[in-house]
């Protein structure tokens, strides 16, 4: 292994995507836009879908629809995004979820986590039922939270966002984030084990 | 974070650790985006026309936005009417079998394998056409294509004018029978098939070079050699498998050859192949494709000592260090800043510790192809000073993570959920508080006890 005392890491991340097309002509530009967009979606959609799934309290179909809608909107603005598009997409995802919740009276009820996922996993995997039950419990608990509170919890504890970042994404004050976090944790305490003991149990073979 | 916060974070991560997008998700998003753009353009043109009509009574001409949708009409795709090429073009029985299999299995690929459209939301137009049929080391293969169109009032990702999809017909190594192996809906047009990983690339995919694997020098730095595709009748066939590769790294296909074998490949230059084994597993299996690589640990108690960094920062530092020292595959290096966020990455575990000499270390895994290896990134303050490559990780091993640190700084060992003890020279056992540990360099044996299992002694490799 090379010793590298003279090789000092400089954190200068490359520009992530060719948002601005190179070359000339509309076709060339659109091809570059499409390539960059598809590449981004291919690489990051699983990650984004996990967030969407939590925002939809475990409903895979609703999460996929939500993310597809967001990506379709983002595509229309793709060549105007400068820098890493993921923060933009992630913010758009939370905003879309917010608007979706406002329209919730018109939407189809979300599938229950246990109906859509747990049953499928139980029938096909050899993993311990306890782990699946824990996931089911987590999604049921999330489903009990009001949408805005759920978003705060997901941003703070899944995305590891600070209170300020969370407030920026959700367009509210840090005070609101604090109170929603506190209330959310209070609710979740009664629904899932947050003592750390359950989390310390090994997850033997997630897939 | 507090214990409660950490516990909640673990619960949330664990709850979605196996979530993955269906195949064809990116292409579907692109089609949906294009449709949305067309609608926006149409509504703008409509509004402009309405205003014009109101002002001047002028209402004439073909709207310019029609041009895009007209172009999508599959009837204009000349590929559907070109004669079959390839050395099996005259094998009527094989061609008939390819078409019959296509008709039988297309629905599963459209609705499950590639997730192009839901059941009842699409129609196949006309007859399937075999554009190319040839022998290969993976057996006889054929490229079949057909136009699809959206049906009913579904919100289908299929474009309004329809779409010509191309599929690979060949032999599935899982059952030894011939099947429709995978579908490409305008993305790459590069298929991988067979035990020796034969690649079938369409010229229209724009893939012009391929690299079988990343080469790793003695110091661990990675590079790739690139071979040009040779197209005949618009299709190139090559074997890309490297069965002797000690490090399972994926074959990569690019539009342009990188100037430097060690240089990072721009993501827009890569053409992602349709991995038919994964597609078939999705179509025929439990619906989740192949297992995710890596240890997939989500509950390891990895912070041992030193500064407490957020998960994002830990992942970013670790990945940056590996990229900086060119230890990662150049085809997948340094893509996006957010790629290193790690919060949602499968197998996003790490171990952090302060070493006796004051440096800090982050130990984690790096997945290359279907294999993963452990690395220790050593930092002096914020600077990555050195990266040490550990052994390949065997997820079935009693102690999957064993990395010896340089300069006699000790060993980092881990097994999620296990109780660990260590000793040296047959001395007394020393209990470790968690399931990961920084051991002194003198340690030579670790005892690993997973819940409900008997203890296993592991000799540390010197």
Q: What is the pLDDT of residues B33-52, one digit of tens each?
A: 888 877 776 666 555 555 54
B263 — pLDDT class (breaks 50, 70, 90) = confident
pLDDT at position B39 is 74
What is the mean pLDDT of the segment spanning B121-127? 86
Average confidence (pLDDT) per 10 residues, chain A, 207 residues: 32 32 44 75 86 87 87 84 78 80 45 38 44 75 87 89 84 89 89 64 35
Nearest CA in chain B to A73: B33
Give tens-digit pLDDT for B85-94.
999 999 999 9
Q: Which of B15, B31, B61 is the last residue of a domain?
A: B61
Q: Are B383 and A9 within 8 A, CB to CB? A: yes
Please tell me whether residues B109 and B239 are part of one structural domain: yes
Please tell me whether residues B29 and B122 are part of one structural domain: no
pLDDT at position B82 is 84
Please tell me whether residues B135 and B41 are part of one structural domain: no
Q: Collect all residues of chain B within an 8 Å Cβ-Cβ radius of residue A88.
A: none
Residue count of chain B: 462
Measure in Å the smallest separation between the Cα of A205 and chain B Cα atoms.
8
In a domain, B49, yes or no: yes
Q: Which of B269, B286, B303 is the last residue of a domain?
A: B286
In a domain, B383, yes or no: yes
Please tell me whether residues B42 and B129 are part of one structural domain: no
Share of chain B above pLDDT 90, in %: 32
Q: Which of B14, B32, B61 is the last residue of a domain?
A: B61
Looking at the DSSP assignment, which residues form a beta bridge with residue B410? B405
Please tell me whether residues B50 and B80 are part of one structural domain: no
Q: Does position B440 have pLDDT exceeding 90, yes or no?
A: yes
C-beta separation of A148 from A170 below 8 A: yes
In whole angstroms, what is the distance from residue A29 CA to residue B364 CA? 39
Mutate one of B14, B25, B33, B359 to test the A interface: name it (highest A CB count within 10 A): B33
In a domain, B193, yes or no: yes
B427 — pLDDT class (breaks 50, 70, 90) = very high
- Residue predicted with more confidence, A108 or B384: B384
Task: Tell whether A184 is within 8 A of chain B (Cβ).
Answer: no
B148 — pLDDT class (breaks 50, 70, 90) = confident
DSSP-derived 3-state class of residue A197: helix
Of B25, B35, B288, the CB nearest to A207: B288
What is the mean pLDDT of the segment spanning B110-118? 78
pLDDT at position B352 is 94
Please tell me whether residues B372 and B400 are part of one structural domain: yes
B1 — pLDDT class (breaks 50, 70, 90) = low
B143 — pLDDT class (breaks 50, 70, 90) = very high
Q: Collect all residues of chain B within an 8 Å Cβ-Cβ radius of residue A12.
A: none
Of A67, A68, A206, the CB nearest to B296: A206
Please tell me whether residues B319 and B273 are part of one structural domain: no
Q: Where are the alpha helices (DSSP H) in A56-173?
A: 60-76, 85-102, 113, 119-124, 129-144, 147-153, 163-170
Q: What is the 3-state secondary structure (H, E, C) of B357-379?
A: CCCEEEEEEEEECCEEEEEEEEE
Give tens-digit pLDDT for B217-258.
877 788 888 999 999 888 999 887 754 444 445 788 888 888
Measure in Å the smallest separation between the Cα of A25 and chain B Cα atoms.
16
In a domain, B296, yes or no: no
In a domain, B68, yes or no: no
Q: Collect all residues of chain A within an 8 Å Cβ-Cβ radius of residue B435.
A: 202
In a domain, B12, yes or no: yes
In a domain, B299, yes or no: no
Q: Residue B349's domain spans which residues?
A: 311-459
Q: Does position B190 have pLDDT exceeding 50, yes or no?
A: yes
Q: Collect all residues of chain B within an 8 Å Cβ-Cβ radius of residue A73.
A: 33, 36
Q: Collect all residues of chain B within an 8 Å Cβ-Cβ radius of residue A74.
A: 33
Q: Collect all residues of chain A within an 8 Å Cβ-Cβ radius of residue B299.
A: 199-203
In whole angstroms, what is the distance from residue A45 CA to residue B338 CA? 12
Of A16, A60, A203, the CB nearest to B299: A203
Please tell me whether residues B403 and B331 are part of one structural domain: yes
In a domain, B9, yes or no: yes
pLDDT at position B268 is 74
CB atoms within 10 A of CB B152: 10
pLDDT at position A4 is 31
The DSSP H or E segment spanning B181 is: strand B178-184
Please tell me whether residues B280 and B179 are part of one structural domain: yes
The tally of domains found in chain B comes to 3
CB atoms within 10 A of CB B242: 18
Give tens-digit pLDDT for B312-341.
778 788 888 888 888 887 877 755 433 444
Q: Collect all residues of chain A within an 8 Å Cβ-Cβ radius of residue B324.
A: 7, 9-10
Q: Are B19 and A46 within 8 A, CB to CB? A: yes
CB pairs under 8 A between A and B: 244
Mutate one of A120, A136, A157, A190 to test the B interface: name it (highest B CB count within 10 A): A157
In whole angstroms, what is the distance from residue A69 CA to residue A100 CA? 11
Please tell me whether residues B218 and B271 are part of one structural domain: yes
ipTM of the complex in this document? 0.72
Q: Are B385 and A4 within 8 A, CB to CB? A: yes
Nearest CA in chain A to B36: A72
State the pairing for strand pair B274-275/B190-193.
Answer: parallel
pLDDT at position A21 is 32
Please tell me whether residues B222 and B282 are part of one structural domain: yes
Calculate the average pLDDT of chain B: 80
Please tell me whether residues B46 and B124 are part of one structural domain: no
């Amino acid at each position: 292994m090379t010793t590298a005392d003279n090789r000092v890491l400089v954190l200068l991340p490359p520009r992530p995507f060719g948002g601005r097309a190179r070359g000339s002509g509309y076709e060339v530009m659109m091809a570059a836009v499409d390539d960059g967009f598809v590449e981004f979606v291919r690489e990051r959609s699983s990650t984004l879908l996990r967030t969407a799934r939590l925002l939809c309290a475990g409903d895979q179909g609703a999460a996929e629809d939500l993310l597809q809608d967001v990506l379709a909107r983002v595509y229309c603005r793709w060549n105007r995004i400068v820098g890493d598009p993921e923060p933009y997409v992630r913010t758009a995802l939370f905003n879309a979820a917010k608007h979706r919740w406002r329209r919730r009276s018109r939407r189809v009820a979300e599938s229950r986590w246990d109906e859509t996922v747990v049953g499928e996993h139980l029938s096909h995997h050899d993993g311990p039922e306890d782990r699946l039950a824990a996931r089911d419990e987590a999604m049921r608990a999330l489903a009990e939270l009001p949408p805005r509170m759920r978003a705060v919890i997901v941003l703070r504890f899944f995305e590891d966002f600070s209170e300020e970042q969370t407030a920026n994404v959700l367009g509210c004050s840090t005070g609101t984030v604090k109170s929603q976090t506190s209330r959310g944790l209070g609710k979740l305490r009664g629904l899932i084990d947050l003592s750390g003991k359950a989390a310390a149990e090994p997850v033997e073979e997630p897939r | 974070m507090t214990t409660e916060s950490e516990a909640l974070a673990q619960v949330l991560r664990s709850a979605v650790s196996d979530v993955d997008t269906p195949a064809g998700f990116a292409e579907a998003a692109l089609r949906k985006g294009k449709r949305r753009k067309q609608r926006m353009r149409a509504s703008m043109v409509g509004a402009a026309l309405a205003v014009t009509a109101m002002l001047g009574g002028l209402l004439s001409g073909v709207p310019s936005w029609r041009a895009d949708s007209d172009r999508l009409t599959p009837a204009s795709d000349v590929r559907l009417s070109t004669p079959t090429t390839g050395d099996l073009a005259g094998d009527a029985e094989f061609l008939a079998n390819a078409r019959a299999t296509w008709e039988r299995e297309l629905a599963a690929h459209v609705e499950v394998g590639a997730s192009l459209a839901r059941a009842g939301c699409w129609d196949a137009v006309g007859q399937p056409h075999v554009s190319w049929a040839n022998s290969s080391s993976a057996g006889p293969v054929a490229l079949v294509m057909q136009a699809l169109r959206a049906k009913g009032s579904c919100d289908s990702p299929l474009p309004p004018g329809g779409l010509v999809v191309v599929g690979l017909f060949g032999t599935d190594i899982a059952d030894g029978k011939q099947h429709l192996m995978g579908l490409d809906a305008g993305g790459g047009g590069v298929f991988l098939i067979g035990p020796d990983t034969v690649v079938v690339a369409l010229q229209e995919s724009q893939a012009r070079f391929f690299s079988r694997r990343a080469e790793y020098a003695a110091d661990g730095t990675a590079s790739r050699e690139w071979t040009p595709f040779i197209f005949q009748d618009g299709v190139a066939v090559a074997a890309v498998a490297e069965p002797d590769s000690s490090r399972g790294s994926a074959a990569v296909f690019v539009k342009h050859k990188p100037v430097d074998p060690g240089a990072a490949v721009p993501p827009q230059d890569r053409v992602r192949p349709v991995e038919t084994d994964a597609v078939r597993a999705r179509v025929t299996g439990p619906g989740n494709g192949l297992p995710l690589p890596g240890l997939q640990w989500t509950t390891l108690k990895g912070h041992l000592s030193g500064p407490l960094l957020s998960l994002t920062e830990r992942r970013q530092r670790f990945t940056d260090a590996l990229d900086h020292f060119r230890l990662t595959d150049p085809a997948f290096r340094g893509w996006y800043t957010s790629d290193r966020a790690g919060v949602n990455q499968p197998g996003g575990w790490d171990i952090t510790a302060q070493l006796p000499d004051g440096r800090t270390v982050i130990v984690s895994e790096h997945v290359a192809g279907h294999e993963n290896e452990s690395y220790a990134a050593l930092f002096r303050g914020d600077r990555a000073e050195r990266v040490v490559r550990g052994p390949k990780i065997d997820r079935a091993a009693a102690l999957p993570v064993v990395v010896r640190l340089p300069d006699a700084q000790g060993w980092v060992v881990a097994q999620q959920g296990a109780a660990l003890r260590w000793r040296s020279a047959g001395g007394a056992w020393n209990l470790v508080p968690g399931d990961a540990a920084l051991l002194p360099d003198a340690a030579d044996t670790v005892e690993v006890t997973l819940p409900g299992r008997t203890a296993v002694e592991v000799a540390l490799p010197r």
